[in-house]
């Protein structure tokens, strides 16, 4: 049954694509981890503000739970919340395509009006199966990036305070404690 | 008079300090020490001299 639905016109392309994706993402992750350790040890600078044609972007504390909430409501909104707009539009556009071709929203509407048989037959399983990975990615990605951004935000403020507000002439005076 | 206080991370902390600077408490009168637990910055100890 599963063998019958394979299309040999496309099938072989999966071999190089999958092998490359696995190999390259592993290699890049290991490399980035090395660079991360070095950058953190030397306290390397990073951007905290940028104005471009696409967006005004800045580091700011955001709530990871809200990222998850928006991603669950609609994949892509979590990315939009943390101003990762290219990722946001990538996910939103694909979500719309998958919603449309899977007939999932029709299915839900029919389910609410009690037409369970019709709801089941309205669905297109081939498209529906994209949703677990789409939701999984949208939720994980927005949550993880919110947490990591927050670390950068704290580090940025720490660096700023240490640079600007640690004057060597500052003395702590002895005296009476006032309430 | 000196004032010591601790704050959690917030952009309002920066706003408050710049507000104090507007009122004449200069950079050399404010001393800020980040408070870390083992892995992350949890807040700041801020001392002012008036």
Higher pLDDT, B28 or A127: A127
Q: Is the separation of the CB atoms in A116 and A107 below 8 Å? A: no
Q: Give the pLDDT band (50/70/90) at residue A84.
A: very high
Of A145, A158, A165, nearest to A70 (Cα)? A145
Question: Rounded mean pLDDT of chain B?
Answer: 83
Contacts of A154 in chain B (CB under 8 A): 9, 40-41
Contacts of A169 in chain B (CB under 8 A): 28
Looking up tokens 């403020």, which residue turns up?
Answer: A157
**Of A106-120, B9-23, B28-42, minimum mean pLDDT range:** B28-42
Question: For residue A71, what pLDDT is reported?
Answer: 97
Averaged pLDDT for residues A80-99: 96
How far is Cα A143 from Cα A137, in angstroms, rounded to an integer?
Answer: 10
Q: Binning pLDDT at 50, 70 and 90, where does residue B50 land?
A: low
Helix axes A104-112 and A85-102, enclosed angle (nearest 10): 60
Rounded CA separation A81/A134 (Å): 17
Asked whether the predicted pLDDT for residue B41 surpasses 70, the reply is no
pLDDT surpasses 80 at B39: no
Q: Please write the tens of the pLDDT for every residue from A23-43.
A: 999 999 999 999 999 998 998
Angle value at C-alpha A154, between A151 and A160, nearest 5 degrees: 140
Q: Which of A61, A151, A161 sits opposite B34 (nearest CB)?
A: A161
Residue A14, SS3?
helix
Residue B33 has pLDDT above 80, yes or no: yes
pLDDT reading at A176 higher than 80: no
Residues 6+ apart with CB under 8 A from B47: A170, A172, B2, B3, B4, B30, B31, B32
Q: Which residue has the tokens 């002439």?
A: A169
B38 band by pLDDT with thresholds 50, 70 and 90: low
Q: Tell me how close the Cα of B32 comes to any Cα of chain A, in angstroms.
A: 6
Strand B2-8 versus strand B41-49 pairing type: antiparallel
Measure B11 CA to nearest chain A CA, in Å: 8
Residue pair A98/A131 in contact (Cβ under 8 Å)? The answer is: yes
Q: How far apart, in whole angstroms, are the C-alpha atoms of residue B48 and residue A170?
A: 10
Provide the whole-model pTM: 0.84
The rounded percent of chain B whose pLDDT value lies above 70 is 88
Domain boundaries, chain A: 61-162
Residue A157 is nearest to which of B14, B28, B49, comparing CB atoms? Answer: B14
Here the ipTM equals 0.83
């Amino acid at each position: 049954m599963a063998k019958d639905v394979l299309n040999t016109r496309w099938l072989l392309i999966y071999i190089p694509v999958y092998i490359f994706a696995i190999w390259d993402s592993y290699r890049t992750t290991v490399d980035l981890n090395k660079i991360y350790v070095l950058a953190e040890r030397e306290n390397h600078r990073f951007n905290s503000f940028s104005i471009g044609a696409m967006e005004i972007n800045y580091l700011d504390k955001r709530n990871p739970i809200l990222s998850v909430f928006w991603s669950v409501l609609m994949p892509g909104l979590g990315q939009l919340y943390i101003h990762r707009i290219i990722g946001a539009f990538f996910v939103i556009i694909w979500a719309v395509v998958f919603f449309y071709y899977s007939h999932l929203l029709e299915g839900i509407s029919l389910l609410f009006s009690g037409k369970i048989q019709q709801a089941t037959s309205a669905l297109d399983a081939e498209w529906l199966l994209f949703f677990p990975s789409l939701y999984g990615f949208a939720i994980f990605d927005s949550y993880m990036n919110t947490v990591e951004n927050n670390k950068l935000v704290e580090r940025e403020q720490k660096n700023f305070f240490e640079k600007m507000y640690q004057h060597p002439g500052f003395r702590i005076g002895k005296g009476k404690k006032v309430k | 008079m000196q004032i010591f206080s601790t704050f959690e991370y917030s952009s309002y902390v920066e706003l408050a300090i710049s507000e104090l600077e507007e009122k004449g408490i200069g950079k050399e009168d404010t001393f800020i020490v980040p408070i870390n637990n083992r892995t992350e910055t949890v807040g700041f100890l801020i001392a002012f001299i008036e």
